[in-house]
Chain A
Amino acid sequence: MSFPDRLASGAAVALIGSACLVAGCKGGASVTVDIRVPRPLVEPLDVRMGVYFDDALKGYVHQEELEDHGTYSIDIGASQAPVFAQVFDAMFDSVVPMTVEAIPNEAATAAEDEDAEGEAEEEAGEEKADGEETQLVFRTADAVGTPVDGILVPSIEEVQFAIPDQTGGEFYEVWIRYQLALFDADGQPLGEWPLIGYGKANQRNYGTIDQKTTGLNEATIWALRDAAALLSFQFRDQTQVKAWLATTHGGAP
């Protein structure tokens, strides 16, 4: 940073500091990350993969109060579906969007019967709503009922971040811990595994004004790219995936 920049930064810090003395403030930042990632250069697997993005994923916002450092909000929901769609589109021969329906167990059984008649629908897991046992049933989002070889459901388990004021280091850092769940063509769960995207941004690359927002934003973007990169590389190496591919038509890794 040049000396005039330092003077400007110093003046800004003094101004903000004075304002904080008068009004009281602990900083904090709020970022909304809405990005797309490039299409990964990986050989696609010869499978027709159903994918489902739930509302929790598409609306994910991490909020956290850091003692002495203010309230932070990282909104990454808008990026999720486009990022995963881009990566899955490169990873698989074809991708089929799915919908899901929570239905009572008896109805789920009937749905399974229909499935036996050739209609494309898959069940996945069970959950209890209002004390009554229900079952999640996947259906292809198109009217044709395109059959799929498997279904992938990503979710966010946790988001963590760190700022230089906390760590004493140089970086704004963001970790996004995903969980990838794989179901077979009949909707039976095959397994799940974690995927951790990590991104960092060096505070030295930014001026004093808006540094927290810019730094966190940049670190979050790199975390999303990192998750996309690792997913496209590591998917076929997962034990559950290898076993599934071995039983799926033409799906040798």
Chain B
Amino acid sequence: MKMRIAGLCAAALGLLAAAGCGVQSTVQEVRQAQTDLGDGAIVILSRKHKTQGETEDGFVTCVSDSVNSGDDALRVLAARDFMDATFPWFEPRTAPLDMNDLTRVINQPLLTERIQQIGVRYLVWIEGTTQRSDESGSLQCTLVSGGIPACFGFLSWENGSDYEASVWDVHRGMNVGTLSSEASGTSFVPAVVVPLPFIARVQQKACDKLSDQIKGFLGPTA
């Protein structure tokens, strides 16, 4: 009998995991011009001038590392290294915000020379965030007999990632395309004595998808 109950519980949790932890993702791509990275490098940056909705540093690092690894890796220069090399032209309050700004900036002789030295051809500006919403349920933890901690309850929430990347060609001073990656999923934590977290890793999914898009967009097969 006990074996049957345990089996039913395991099956129920399995169903919950299958139903709740699935991550749905959508990607979109708009190409405005052909690209030719050659042996050049790209830089993946986030906008830092906004007062809210700033992209997480961890996401930018994730995309940079992912694009910079694997068989189809592209050469990626770390954002901070690029900002240091081009100081003070790409600081949070001085970085170009549009094509007019970019054209003005890259026509500065010292900067043009430096960008050629470090071999950067494309800038990928990432905007967007991951948000948690629709939290419901509750989880209570207490000490039961013998001083053993135990938790009971059920907690769930929605996670949504929504990121967009604009690809700028610093040689030609133009926007060559826009890529976007959205992912959403439900996470939950049922607890009968021991809490069992089933987490929808939407940000990781969005990172993987956006990285693949960038590789496809700028890679040799583009």
Contacts and interface: CB of A to CB of B under 8 A. Distances in A.
B175 to A, nearest CB: 23
Contact of B92 (A39, A43, A226, A228): A226
B107 to A, nearest CB: 13
Nearest to A229: B88
Contacts of A18: none
A232 interface: yes
Given A2-B199, A3-B199, A38 B91 contact: no
B94 A37 contact: no
A84 interface: no
B29 to A, nearest CB: 28
A43 B114 CA distance: 13
Contacts of A183: none
A229 B93 contact: yes
B156 to A, nearest CB: 13
A230 B89 CA distance: 10
Interface residues of A, number: 26
Contact of B91 (A200, A202, A226): A226
B145 interface: no
A158 B108 CA distance: 33
B221 interface: no
Contacts of B57: 202, 205
B110 interface: yes
A169 interface: yes
B56 to A, nearest CB: 6
A158 B91 CA distance: 22
Given A2-B199, A230-B93, A38 B87 contact: yes
**Would you call the interface of chain A mostly helix, strand, loop, or mixed?**
mixed
Contacts of B91: 225-226, 229
Contact of B110 (A37, A42, A230): A42
Contacts of B48: 200, 222
Contact of B52 (A37, A170, A222, A233): A170
Given A170-B52, A202-B54, A229-B88, A41 B93 contact: no
A205 B56 contact: yes
Contact of B88 (A171, A199, A205, A228): A228
Contacts of A37: 87
Nearest to B115: A41
A41 B51 contact: no
A189 interface: no
Interface in B56-75: 56-58
Contacts of B189: 3
Contacts of A39: 87
5 contacts: A43-B110, A171-B54, A222-B48, A230-B88, A232-B88
Given A40-B87, A41-B114, 7 more contacts: A40-B88, A41-B86, A169-B51, A170-B52, A170-B54, A229-B93, A230-B88
Report, nearest first, the 6 A-B pairs whose CB atoms are least far apart: A229-B88, A38-B87, A41-B110, A38-B84, A205-B57, A229-B91
